[in-house]
Structure 1
Amino acid sequence: MKQNHSFSQMGRQIKRVVCAMSGGVDSSVAALLLKQKGYEVLGFFMRNWDIRDEQGVCKADQDAEDAAWVCKKLQIPFQEVNFVKEYWNDVFSEMIRDYESGITPNPDILCNRHIKFTALLEHARHTVGADALATGHYARTSAGEFATEYSGQQVRLLKAVDRLKDQTFFLSQVPQKALRRTIFPLGEFTKDVVKKIASSAGLERIAARKESMGICFIGKRNFSEFIAQYVDPRPGNFVDLETREVVGRHNGVHQWTVGQRCNIAGLARAYFVAEKLTDSGDILVAPGHDHPALYSSTVHAGQPHWIHSPPEDFYGRGMLECEFKFQHTESLVPCVVTSRTHNPWHRSPSKNDLTVSLANPLRALTPGQFAVFYRGDECLGSARILRPGPSQFDLDVDSCRTKRRES
C-alpha cells in the first residue's frame, strides 16, 4: 500500500503539491517521488519566453512537449502556465538595463525570486489550491520534505547532499514566505541516483536529455548576436591599464564582462577585461589571465537578503564571519562581512550596505553578480555586488608610491 505523506500543521493538511516541470530529469523525478509518497501532484510547465532563436527554434516548445509526456507517463495532471509578461517585466527588462549600465546580471537568481517562487507559487495557490510548490532543485530546507507555512516557523535553506549539484546559490534570493511552502524532493539524492530512478520508472528518454544551458528560460545563444537585438552598439576603446595605450576597439561595454578574454584582432598578447568605464565607453584590459588587476580581496555589496533572519552577530556586533562565493561553480572562501552604515537596522538601498573582506583575493569579482553567504550547510542569503575593492595591482602601485614618498 502506498504510504500517504500528506502532513498536518495547525489543523491544515498539506496534500496537494504543484511540481514545476521543465521537461528535464530533475523535475520529472521530483514529481515521481512526490507521487510515490502519496501526495496529490500536479505538473505545471512555465512558458516564460516565446521568442524563437536564430535558427527559428523556440526551446520552450520541446521542453513543454517533454514535460507533458512525463506527466502523462506518471498519470498526473499537466498544465502549461504563461509568465512571459512577468518574466519580461521583472527579469529580462532588468537584465537589459543592467547590460546597458555596463554591469553583468545573474538572471537565474532573479528568475527564481520573481517567477518560480513568487508568480508560479501564487498562481498554484490561487488557481488549484496548492498547499505547496515542489521543484527539481538540488537543495534542502530545515523543514525536511514538509512545507511549514501553517506552523509559523522560520525555514533555513540548506545545501543538498550532492555538493557538486547543490543549487542553493541560485536560491539565495528566495523569500522566506515562499520557502515555507516549498519542497525540494531531490535534496537527499545525488545526480546519478536521480538518473537511475528515472530510468527504472520508464523515463529513459528524459534521463538521456542533455543538461539545459544558457540564460534562464531563453537557452543557449550566441550572446553577442542576442544582446545586440536589445542594446544599441556604443563603440569604445580597449585600453591597456598599465601603459594607458589604446590596443583595440569594441562595440559596447554590454558585450563584455570582467575577467573575459578580449581576443583583440592583430595582437598576439592575451588581454582580459579588468574594468569597464561606462562614462567614456572604454574598457581597461590587463595583459595576462592572472594579472594582479583582476584580483581583489574586498567586495562592496548592496542591501542583503537574509533567507532565515538577519544573523544576530552581524546586527549585534556589525560583523559576520561566514563563507562567500559569487559564482556557482567556485569554492567557498572564508570572509568577514561588515555593515557600511552606522545603524545596520536602518538600511538604505542607495548606499553600499556591506563590505566583504575575503581571506584570499579572488579573480574577476563582477558588479551585478551576487555575493552569496554560507555558514556550514546553511545558505544565509545574498547581496548584489556593486563593485570590487582595490585590486592587487592598485595596492601594489599605491605601495610603490608610498615607498617613493618615504624615501
Structure 2
Amino acid sequence: MLSRYLSLVGRRSAAQYRPQRLPAKFDNVIVAMSSGVDSSVAAALFAEEFPNTRGVYMQNWSESQSLDDPGKEPCYEKDWKDVNRVAKHLSIPVEKVNFEQDYWIDVFEPMLRGYNEGSTPNPDIGCNKFVKFGKLREWLNEKHGTDNYWLVTGHYARVMQEIKGKELFRLLRGIYRPKDQSYYLSQINSTALSSLLLPIGHLTKPEVRDLAKYADLPTAGKPDSQGICFVNNSQHGKFKNFLKHYLPSSPGNIITFDPQSGAKTQWGKHDGMWSYTIGQKIGISMPQGDPNYQGPWFVSEKLKDTNEIVIVRGRDNAALYKDTIRIENFASLSPKEDTINALRDISALTLQFRSLQVPVQINSCTLNSSAENLDITINVASKQRAMAPGQSCCLYVGDRVIGSGPISHVNNND
C-alpha cells in the first residue's frame, strides 16, 4: 500500500522542498480517524509498514445531534462504528477521546457570539486550531511524551520542509485543488508542523478512492461528508433552524436604503443579525409588478446599531462588492519577521476569504505590527463579492500558507 502511494507522489515534490517525509519504522504514528475515506486511507498507508501505528477518534459533538429528528442515530455513533470497522480491517488499535467540553467552549460558543453580533465566523477553522491540533496534541503529549509521535490526518494539504535557508516546515495547498483544505488549517499552531503528516494532500480524490478500493477498506464507497460537523446538511435553511435553538430572537427590520436621500423603506422582519449572511439571497415578498423591484434580492449590509438588515436587488449589485479589508490578530504560520517580509512583497501574495475560491490578487498591503498583534489592511486588485466581518482571511505566497485572521472591517477605498 505504501509503495503504491509513493509511486504516485514521487514525481510531485516541489522544487524548493524536501520530498514527503516518512517516520522511522518503530516511531509512534497516531492517525486521527474521522470515519471518512480520506482518514481511512491515511491509516492504511502506515498500518502495514509501521508497527506502532494506532488510531484515535475524537468525539467533539453530541449535543442535540438530531434536533429535527430525535429518533435518528447520532452521527458520532455511526462514525465510531465505521472507525472500528476500518481499524479492525487494518489490525490497528483505536481509541475514542471526548473533547466535547473543549469544543463547546473554544469553538461553538465563540461561533454563537459571532453570529449573534452579525458577523460570519468559521467554526471549522476554530475546530482545527483549538481541538484537532490543540487539545488532541495536548492529550497525545501527555500519553506519548511531548512530540514523541507523528500525527497523521486525512486533510487535503501538505506539510513540507524547505531545502534552503532556515529549512522551515511550511503548510502548502493540497495538489488537488477541488478538495484543498489548507484554508481550514491556516490558524493551527506552527509548532505542530514538524511532526505532522498529511499524506492525502499529495493525492487526488480519485487516487484516494482507488487506494481505498485497493486496500478493500470498509469505507471505500462512503460519500464525502458535507457541511460543518454539528449540522449534517449545511444548506442555510437547516443551519438557520439549528441556530434558533441556541440564539435568542432579536427581531429587526429588513430595509432598502437610498444612499442619496438617506431614506429607508421597510420590507419585512428578521429574527436577529444571525438570520442572514452578507451576500445571501433573501426570500422576501417584493412588488414584482414594479420593474424597480423585480428579481431576487440579497443581503448587502448589517446595521448593528439599529438592528437592521439592508437588502439590494440583483446578485451582482455593486453594493455587494468591496475592495478593502482589515484583518486583526493575524495568526502566522512562520516566524513573525519572516511573515512581515512576505507581506511586504505583494507580487506573489494572494488571499482567500472562503475555501476553494479562486485566489484573489492584492493591490496593496499595510501592516500595523506590535509586540503582540499583527493587523493588516489589504486593498484587492478587483472588488470581491460578499466579503464580511468574521470571515477568516487566509494569505498565500504561491501555494504556501502565510497564516490567517478574522476580517474586522470591510469597505471600499473610493
Q: One fold, TM greater than 0.5?
A: yes
CA gap of 1:313–1:181, structure 2 versus 1, over 3 A, is: closer
Structure 2 residue 392 is matched with structure 1 residue 380 = no
CA gap of 1:167–1:14, structure 2 versus 1, over 3 A, is: farther
| SS of residue paired to 2:121 | coil
Equivalent residue in structure 1 for 2:93, among 72, 77, 87: 77
Deviation per CA, 1:303-354, whole angstroms, max 9, x where unpaired?
Answer: 211112236483598564400111112100111453353xx244558xxx21
The residue number in structure 2 matching 1:398 is: none
Deviation per CA, 1:364-391, whole angstroms, max 9, x where unpaired?
Answer: 0011111111111211111211121228
The residue number in structure 2 matching 1:22 is: 34
Query: Contact conserved, 1:30 with 1:185, CA < 8 A, in 2?
Result: yes
The residue number in structure 1 matching 2:158 is: 140
Query: Contact conserved, 1:337 with 1:354, CA < 8 A, in 2?
Result: no
Query: Contact conserved, 1:240 with 1:285, CA < 8 A, in 2?
Result: yes
Equivalent residue in structure 2 for 1:275, among 301, 310, 313: 301
Structure 2 residue 196 is matched with structure 1 residue 185 = no
Query: Contact conserved, 2:29 with 2:50, CA < 8 A, in 1?
Result: no
CA gap of 1:336–1:266, structure 2 versus 1, over 3 A, is: closer
The residue number in structure 2 matching 1:240 is: 256
Query: Contact conserved, 1:304 with 1:382, CA < 8 A, in 2?
Result: yes
Identity %: 33
Query: Contact conserved, 1:111 with 1:216, CA < 8 A, in 2?
Result: no
> C-alpha distance in 1, partners of 2:88/2:360?
45
Equivalent residue in structure 2 for 1:224, among 237, 240, 247: 240
Deviation per CA, 1:112-142, whole angstroms, max 9, x where unpaired?
Answer: 0000001112212322455121100011112
The residue number in structure 2 matching 1:211 is: 224
> C-alpha distance in 1, partners of 2:321/2:22?
50
> C-alpha distance in 1, partners of 2:141/2:130?
16
Equivalent residue in structure 2 for 1:64, among 56, 67, 80: 80
Query: Contact conserved, 2:179 with 2:356, CA < 8 A, in 1?
Result: no
Deviation per CA, 1:44-66, whole angstroms, max 9, x where unpaired?
Answer: 11000112212123211111111
Count of aligned pairs between the two proteins: 374
The residue number in structure 2 matching 1:399 is: none
> C-alpha distance in 2, partners of 1:115/1:14?
27
Equivalent residue in structure 1 for 2:316, among 281, 290, 307: 290
The residue number in structure 2 matching 1:34 is: 46
Deviation per CA, 1:234-256, whole angstroms, max 9, x where unpaired?
Answer: 11111113352112211111111
The residue number in structure 2 matching 1:405 is: none
The alignment's TM-score, normalised by the length of structure 2, stands at 0.84
Equivalent residue in structure 1 for 2:280, among 256, 260, 272: 260
> C-alpha distance in 1, partners of 2:28/2:243?
40
Query: Contact conserved, 1:195 with 1:207, CA < 8 A, in 2?
Result: yes
> C-alpha distance in 2, partners of 1:313/1:137?
24
Query: Contact conserved, 2:231 with 2:239, CA < 8 A, in 1?
Result: no
Deviates most, 366-375 or 330-339: 330-339
The residue number in structure 2 matching 1:122 is: 138
The alignment's TM-score, normalised by the length of structure 1, stands at 0.86
> C-alpha distance in 2, partners of 1:218/1:294?
27
> C-alpha distance in 2, partners of 1:87/1:181?
23
Structure 2 residue 381 is matched with structure 1 residue 367 = no
Deviation per CA, 1:71-117, whole angstroms, max 9, x where unpaired?
Answer: 11111001110000000000001001111111110000110000000
CA gap of 1:181–1:267, structure 2 versus 1, over 3 A, is: farther
Equivalent residue in structure 1 for 2:359, among 318, 326, 332: 332
Gaps of 5+ in 2: 4-20, 289-293
Equivalent residue in structure 2 for 1:309, among 323, 331, 335: 335
The residue number in structure 1 matching 2:7 is: none
The residue number in structure 2 matching 1:164 is: 178
> C-alpha distance in 1, partners of 2:201/2:339?
29
CA gap of 1:347–1:357, structure 2 versus 1, over 3 A, is: farther
Gaps of 5+ in 1: 145-151, 396-407
Deviation per CA, 1:210-269, whole angstroms, max 9, x where unpaired?
Answer: 211122344326112110111111111111133521122111111110000111135543
Query: Contact conserved, 1:154 with 1:176, CA < 8 A, in 2?
Result: no
Query: Contact conserved, 2:330 with 2:373, CA < 8 A, in 1?
Result: no
| SS of residue paired to 1:206 | coil
Deviates most, 32-41 or 229-238: 32-41
Query: Contact conserved, 1:296 with 1:365, CA < 8 A, in 2?
Result: yes
CA gap of 1:284–1:61, structure 2 versus 1, over 3 A, is: same
Query: Contact conserved, 1:258 with 1:366, CA < 8 A, in 2?
Result: yes
- Name the aligned partner's letter for residue 286 of structure 1: V
Aligned-pair Cα RMSD in Å: 2.4
CA gap of 1:377–1:6, structure 2 versus 1, over 3 A, is: closer
> C-alpha distance in 2, partners of 1:37/1:307?
31
- Name the aligned partner's letter for residue 92 of structure 1: F
- Name the aligned partner's letter for residue 273 of structure 1: V
> C-alpha distance in 1, partners of 2:331/2:323?
22
> C-alpha distance in 2, partners of 1:358/1:338?
9
Structure 2 residue 99 is matched with structure 1 residue 99 = no
